Amino acid sequence: MEQRIIHACGHEQAHHLTGFDSQQERKARWLKTTICRDCFVVEKRAEEAAAAALSSAAISHLDLPLLTGTDRQISWASTIRTKRLAALTNLNSDADCYACLQVTDAKWWIDHRDLTDVDLMAAATQAPDMQSTTAVTASITDMPRTA
């Protein structure tokens, strides 16, 4: 059954309530004590923006390389990288997370977003773009010289 509920924020919203009458009444009473969906979304976006600003400020002293990937990957990975590096630099010195600072592949940041801090730092040392820089350097120095 659909009911129009006036939420604590003063906005009215339609809700589809199911169950026994007593359950519907209890749910309606509870909904009246909460804010509407629109206000909830606005609050969450403001919290996310504030957290992003704090993370950006925490790593503003770092000279981070640009990420590579598609525009959508770069946008998402930038958010992930900023949040994770802010947490890492708060816990460790910049030297401890040097490998993470050098990873430029946006896909890598997205794929590794759920790792713990320790696992993230370990994975960064094994990152393909980190290996490719050392591999290129090694292959250049190992090449035979031709006169």
Going 94 to 98 to 100 to 102, the CA torsion angle's sign is: positive
The whole-number pLDDT of residue 108 equals 92
Query: For 5, which DSSP code?
Result: E
Element housing 12 (H / E): strand 12-16
Q: What is the pLDDT of residues 71-128, one digit of tens each?
A: 999 999 999 999 988 888 776 555 567 788 888 999 999 999 999 888 888 888 887 7
- Give the chain's mean pLDDT: 82
**CB-based contact 47:19 (threshold 8 Å):** no
Q: What is the dihedral of CA 82, 63, 127, 118, to 10 degrees?
A: -50
pTM of the model: 0.62
SS3 101: helix
Tell me the CA distances in angstroms from 42 to 47, 48, 81, one per residue in order: 9, 10, 24
Joined together, the tokens standing for residue 71 give 């525009």
- Return all residues near 47 (Cβ < 8 A) that are at least 6 apart: none
Question: What is the distance between the alpha carbons of residues 88 and 47, in angstroms, rounded to a whole number?
Answer: 21
Element housing 20 (H / E): none
